[in-house]
Every structure is written in structure tokens, then in C-alpha cells.
């Protein structure tokens, strides 16, 4: 073998190894991967992807699912929460302009076989902060539930505000230390989260 041929062979091996290393870093196909799949870098990204793509996403050992999507693993396999998605804005009602007004958003559950506790929280966007809101539970495991969303009323003309509702699912009883407000949904110490579509709420004068 000539010196030139040996040099060419050495360069070819080096190039092949370089491509293999690059593929190991960025991912080149295999196992159904496109090479462009990126895990969520933040909780808000996991929530946004769940809503936009109708899927479940895990971030830092917390599962965030879109309404109606069945959880495939964790403590509630085969379970789903279906949150109402009205085609008109929710209307917040209050007795006076200075009191809190209330809007109701219904949801149902399917496939829950493990005893659980449900709480609810709302935010104007997936970025938070999140505020825990009253939740009327009519059954321990399944059946209709109503989320009573309390939003401060404002004086003046009616105002529309964006809204995302989250159903917080806990195995057994929820911790007594669950905060009323939190920067992130994971701060509620929740086992599974279902988030609604992006909604609007109208706050009257």
C-alpha cells in the first residue's frame, strides 16, 4: 500500500469517527428520533407544548398533560382529566364592583383507580404565577367537578383576560403545606397536572 493510500485511509477513518461523535451529540435518527427533539428546558415550555401539541410532557419528575390526554405512566396510568373548552369567554360574575367575581369551569375525570385528591389553580399564562382556587368535588374518584375561578373584579368597561386552568392531582391526600400561590405548578408538590386550553375570562364593571 502506498503512502498516499495510507494517508487517505487515515483521513477517511478520522472523518467517520468525527461524524459518529457528532451524531452521538445531536442525535442522528434511530429509535424514531429526528435529531431535533429537545426536552423542555423549563416548566413553562413543558406546559406550552402540552397545550399546543395535545400531549403529556415530563419536566423535573413532574408530568404536565393537556386536557383529555391519557397519562401513560406514573401513579395514574390510563387516567385523564377533560377540562371544558368553551367557544366563548368565561363570564366572571360578582355582586358588586369591589368584590371578587366568580366564573365556573367544569371538568370530568376518566380512568382513575388510585385514591386521589384534586385541587385547582389558575394563571394568565403558562409562565405563572399560579393561584389556587376553590374546587367543588362531587365524587372521590370520577364524575363531574366544578372549578370556581375567583378573579378580582375591576371597575370600568368589561375587560378580557387570558386564563389557563390547571387540575392538580395528588396520590391519596394532598399535603397540608400546599401554598395558595406559587411561581410554578411544581411548587404545589403535585404528582400529576392537567392544563386547560388557553381560555379567556371577561371581568365586568
Rounded to an integer, what distance in angstroms lies between the CA atom of residue 147 and that of residue 20?
Answer: 52
Helix (H) or strand (E) holding 76: none
Q: In terms of domains, do 119 and 189 share one?
A: yes
Lowest mean pLDDT among 23-37, 103-117, 147-161: 23-37
Q: What mean pLDDT value characterizes the chain?
A: 77
Q: In terms of domains, do 16 and 84 share one?
A: no
Cis peptide before 101 (omega within 30 of 0): no
Q: In terms of domains, do 66 and 157 share one?
A: yes
Q: In terms of domains, do 164 and 189 share one?
A: yes
Q: In terms of domains, do 25 and 111 share one?
A: no
Q: In terms of domains, do 169 and 82 share one?
A: yes
Q: In terms of domains, do 174 and 91 share one?
A: yes
Is the pLDDT reported for residue 85 higher than 90?
A: yes
Q: What is the extent of the structural domain holding 126?
A: 43-203
Q: How many domains does the chain have?
A: 2
Q: In terms of domains, do 32 and 53 share one?
A: no
Residue 119: what pLDDT? 92
Q: In terms of domains, do 29 and 60 share one?
A: no
Say what the pTM is.
Answer: 0.74
Question: For the chain, how long is the longest CA-to-CA vector?
Answer: 94
Is the pLDDT reported for residue 154 higher than 70?
A: no
Q: In terms of domains, do 98 and 193 share one?
A: yes
Q: In terms of domains, do 107 and 180 share one?
A: yes
Where b means 16+ CB within 10 Å and e means fewer, 111-132 reads ebeeebbbbbbbbbebbbebbb
154 vs 16, residue with greater confidence: 154
Q: Which long-range contacts (CB under 8 A, 24 or more apart) does 173-181 make?
A: 173/117, 174/117, 174/119, 178/119, 178/132, 179/132, 180/131, 180/132, 181/129, 181/130, 181/131, 181/132
Residue 56: what pLDDT? 93
Q: In terms of domains, do 19 and 5 share one?
A: yes
16-34: per-residue pLDDT in tens? 434 333 433 334 433 333 3
Do the Cβ atoms of 135 and 145 come closer than 8 Å?
A: yes
Amino acid at each position: 500500500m502506498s503512502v498516499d493510500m495510507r494517508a487517505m485511509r487515515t483521513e477517511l477513518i478520522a472523518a467517520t469517527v468525527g461524524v459518529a461523535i457528532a451524531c452521538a451529540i445531536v442525535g442522528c435518527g434511530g429509535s424514531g428520533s429526528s435529531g431535533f427533539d429537545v426536552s423542555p428546558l423549563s416548566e413553562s415550555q413543558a406546559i406550552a407544548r402540552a397545550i399546543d401539541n395535545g400531549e403529556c410532557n415530563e419536566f423535573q419528575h413532574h408530568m404536565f398533560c393537556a386536557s383529555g390526554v391519557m397519562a401513560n405512566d406514573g401513579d395514574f396510568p390510563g387516567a385523564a382529566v377533560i377540562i371544558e373548552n368553551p367557544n366563548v369567554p368565561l363570564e366572571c360574575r360578582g355582586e358588586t364592583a369591589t368584590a371578587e367575581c366568580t366564573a365556573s369551569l367544569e371538568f370530568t375525570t376518566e380512568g382513575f383507580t388510585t385514591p386521589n385528591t384534586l385541587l385547582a389553580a389558575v394563571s394568565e399564562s403558562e409562565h405563572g404565577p399560579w393561584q389556587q382556587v376553590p374546587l367543588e368535588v362531587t365524587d372521590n374518584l370520577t364524575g363531574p367537578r366544578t372549578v370556581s375561578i375567583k378573579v378580582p373584579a375591576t371597575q370600568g368597561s368589561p375587560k378580557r383576560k387570558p386564563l389557563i386552568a390547571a387540575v392538580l392531582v395528588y396520590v391519596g391526600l394532598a399535603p397540608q403545606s400546599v401554598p395558595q400561590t406559587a411561581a410554578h405548578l411544581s411548587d404545589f408538590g403535585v404528582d400529576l397536572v392537567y392544563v386547560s386550553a388557553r381560555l379567556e375570562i371577561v371581568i365586568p364593571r
